[in-house]
Amino acid sequence: DPRPPIPDTRHLAELVQRAAQCALAVQQVLHGYEASNGWRIALRIGIDAGEMLLACVGGMLGYWEYVARW
């Protein structure tokens, strides 16, 4: 099996809580932030825990997208 071993999840709840706190802090900092030329930055954050596959696809016209599968 080429997959790495599943990590110890005893502290998973604490790690998810820390990730959520970080996400909320970033959103607070960016709320109402105006970039150049009147552009506003919007940020949505999703948090999940467990095994998943992440791929970065794209490249045409400088556009990239992340695709996740659980």
pLDDT tens per residue across span 34-64:
888 888 877 888 888 877 788 889 888 888 8
pLDDT over 90 (residue 25)? yes
Quote the strand ranges of 1-70, DSSP E.
53-58, 64-69
Structure tokens at 26: 């970033």
pLDDT over 90 (residue 21)? yes
At residue 20 the predicted structure's pLDDT band, cuts being 50, 70 and 90, is very high
Domain residues of the chain, as ranges?
Answer: 12-69
The amino acid occupying position 15 is L
Residue 46: name the closest of 13, 14, 24, 64 by CA.
24
* pLDDT: which is higher, 20 or 69: 20
pLDDT at 4: 67
Q: Are 41 and 33 in contact (CB under 8 A)?
A: yes
